[in-house]
Chains A and B, each alone.
Chain A
Amino acid sequence: GENVEQHPSTLSVQEGDSAVIKCTYSDSASNYFPWYKQELGKRPQLIIDIRSNVGEKKDQRIAVTLNKTAKHFSLHITETQPEDSAVYFCAASIVGNYGGSQGNLIFGKGTKLSVKP
């Protein structure tokens, strides 16, 4: 089955710096890669996702890149702010657009990001 590895497990940056979190996956059939942010004691919140037909996606200070050949994808946060401090999880799944979808997400173990003011 699918296996997702995530690095680093902890990341500390200075406010205003960039943060990069990397994930690799094992199943070449995986085609959907979301990223979730989880604050302490709260629910995971979807912050950005990418499908395998796209190499890069950006939403304000957040971007995700995907390399299908190497089977890895990365989250990039620019101009980090203290409120970006949280645990970030990457995930992978195999989905279809119309029917036949498996849907369950396989998560990485998470990266605890600390942004120091």
Chain B
Amino acid sequence: NAGVMQNPRHLVRRRGQEARLRCSPMKGHSHVYWYRQLPEEGLKFMVYLQKENIIDESGMPKERFSAEFPKEGPSILRIQQVVRGDSAAYFCASSPPLGTGTHNEQFFGPGTRLTVL
């Protein structure tokens, strides 16, 4: 499967624990975006990353949330000390490198559904 991969698909955490969400972009894609979707709502942009570089984190809460996209391995969205309000579906998307003409297109992974008890 050459699509965007996310794991885990479902994650249950108790309040105060940490959640780690992983995203592997499509082969050949160098840009990763994280979005959050609350039930019955649209997707809200959180952060945009290239390898080893955060391009735009304007949609990510300043506290408890962090993201990385290391040189090797998947992108990780980390939520520390989770609260009930963090319960949502977290989607990542990837896009081709700049200059390919199709950079605008974002392809989404299956999402991680986080439930905070």
A positions within 8 Å CB-CB of B: 6, 32, 34, 36, 42-46, 49, 51, 89, 93, 95-99, 101-110
Q: Is the interface of A mostly helix, strand, loop or mixed?
A: loop
Contact A108:B33 (CB < 8 A) given known A43-B91, A46-B105 = no
Task: Decide if B104 touches A45 in the complex (CB within 8 Å).
Answer: no
- Among A32, A46, A104, the one with the most B-chain Cβ atoms within 10 Å of its Cβ is A104
Q: Quick check: A104 and B98 within 8 Å, CB to CB?
A: no
B14 interface residue per 8 A CB criterion: no
Contact A98 B107 (CB under 8 A): no
Asked if B31 and A103 sit within 8 Å, CB to CB, the answer is: yes
- Minimum CB–CB distance from B46 to chain A (whole Å) comes to 9
Residue contact B43 to A103, C-beta cutoff 8 Å: no
B33 cross-chain contacts in A, Cβ below 8 A: 103-105
Assuming A103-B95, A107-B44, what are 6 further A-B pairs, CB within 8 angstroms? Answer: A43-B108, A45-B108, A89-B42, A93-B104, A103-B31, A104-B59
- Cα distance, A107 to B108, chains bound together (Å): 14
* B103:A103 contact, CB within 8 angstroms: yes
Q: List 23 A-B contacts (CB under 8 A).
A: A6-B42, A34-B106, A36-B108, A43-B108, A43-B111, A44-B43, A45-B108, A49-B105, A89-B42, A95-B103, A98-B99, A102-B56, A103-B31, A103-B95, A104-B33, A104-B56, A105-B43, A105-B45, A106-B45, A107-B43, A108-B42, A110-B41, A110-B42
